[in-house]
């Protein structure tokens, strides 16, 4: 039996359900550090979380929905951190903005890897209402960033789109380099590219 004897087969209270959902997300995240997304199954996640496979489907209909929830968690945490840093530092120049973006971009490889998946697989096998909810949540959090940057909303949204594209592009190059046994180009090259993009977009 997959469920330990001291653990109820079905969470009953809201707190228990939230904890069980978090257990599933953490199990998926642990597996994903060593297993490519394409090779990772809901069965593996269930075993890692010490749950029956059917229990996972009480929380997530598909593997894509599970990883979209993981992306939502990581993206929300970064946007909350970015908002807090903008409140604290109150950047006024393009270089000030770049410094904040770089400071909050440390240790975000899991988020970047999830963003790569978003554009290729995560939205293809998820209920439409789940995708809509995800996009609404991201939009609400993004509005807080737009309000705090010293640019017009149009410029800020352009900047965030560039940041998204840079993050995905350099993450893919980093993974390609790792597979070839080469040193990761991400940190220094991302820093150079982001600073140039912020200056160019702010002056447009």
Structure tokens belonging to residue 55: 């229990």
Of the options 1.10.10, 1.20.144, 1.20.58, 1.10.287, the CATH number for the domain spanning 14-56: 1.10.10
Q: Residue 69 has what pLDDT?
A: 96
Residue 10 has pLDDT above 70, yes or no: no
Mean of the per-residue pLDDT values for the chain?
Answer: 89
How many whole angstroms separate alpha carbon 118 and alpha carbon 124?
9
pLDDT in tens, 116-155: 999 788 888 899 999 999 999 999 989 999 999 999 999 9
Percent of the chain clearing pLDDT 70 (strictly above): 94
Structure tokens belonging to residue 44: 């593996």
* DSSP conformation letters of the chain: --S-TTS-SS--SHHHHHHHHHHHHHHHHHHHTTS-GGG--HHHHHHHHT--HHHHTTT-SSHHHHHHHHHHHHHHHHHHHHHHHHHHH---SHHHHHHHHHHTTTT-HHHHHHHHHIIIIITSSS-HHHHHHHHHHHHHHHHHHHHHSSS-HHHHHHHHHHHHHHHHHHHHHHHHHHHTTPPP-HHHHHHHHHHHHHHHHHT-
> How far from chain centre, in Å, is Cα 77?
8
Greater confidence (56 vs 1) lies with: 56
Residue ranges, comma separated, of all CATH 1.10.10 domains in the chain are 14-56
Q: Residue 6 has what pLDDT?
A: 43
Residue ranges, comma separated, of all CATH 1.10.357.10 domains in the chain are 63-202
Greater confidence (204 vs 150) lies with: 150
Structure tokens belonging to residue 84: 């807090």
pTM of the model: 0.87
pLDDT confidence tier of residue 9, bands split at 50, 70 and 90? low
Cα within 13 Å of Cα(1), Cβ side: 7
pLDDT confidence tier of residue 1, bands split at 50, 70 and 90? very low
Structure tokens belonging to residue 144: 């807080």
Q: Residue 38 has what pLDDT?
A: 93
| Nearest to 113, CA basis, from 202, 178, 196 | 178
Fold of 63-202: Tetracycline Repressor; domain 2 (1.10.357)
pLDDT in tens, 77-116: 999 999 999 999 999 999 999 999 999 998 898 999 999 9
Residue 165 has pLDDT above 70, yes or no: yes
């Amino acid at each position: 039996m997959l469920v330990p004897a001291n653990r109820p087969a079905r969470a009953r209270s809201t707190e228990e359900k939230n904890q069980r959902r978090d257990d599933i997300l953490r199990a998926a995240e642990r597996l994903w550090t060593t297993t490519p997304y394409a090779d990772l199954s809901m069965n593996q996640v269930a075993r890692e979380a010490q749950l029956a496979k059917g229990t996972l489907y009480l929380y997530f209909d598909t593997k894509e929905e599970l990883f979209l929830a993981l992306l939502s968690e990581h993206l929300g945490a970064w946007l909350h951190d970015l908002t807090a840093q903008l409140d604290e530092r109150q950047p006024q120049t393009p270089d000030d903005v770049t410094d904040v973006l770089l400071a909050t971009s440390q240790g975000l490889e899991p988020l970047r890897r999830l963003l790569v998946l978003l554009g290729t697989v995560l939205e293809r096998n998820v209920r439409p209402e789940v995708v809509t909810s995800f996009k609404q949540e991201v939009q609400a959090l993004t509005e807080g960033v737009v309000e705090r940057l010293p640019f017009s909303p149009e410029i800020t949204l352009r900047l965030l789109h560039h940041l998204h594209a840079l993050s995905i592009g350099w993450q893919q190059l980093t993974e390609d380099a790792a597979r070839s046994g080469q040193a990761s180009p991400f940190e220094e090259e991302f820093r150079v590219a982001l600073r140039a993009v912020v200056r160019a977009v702010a002056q447009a």
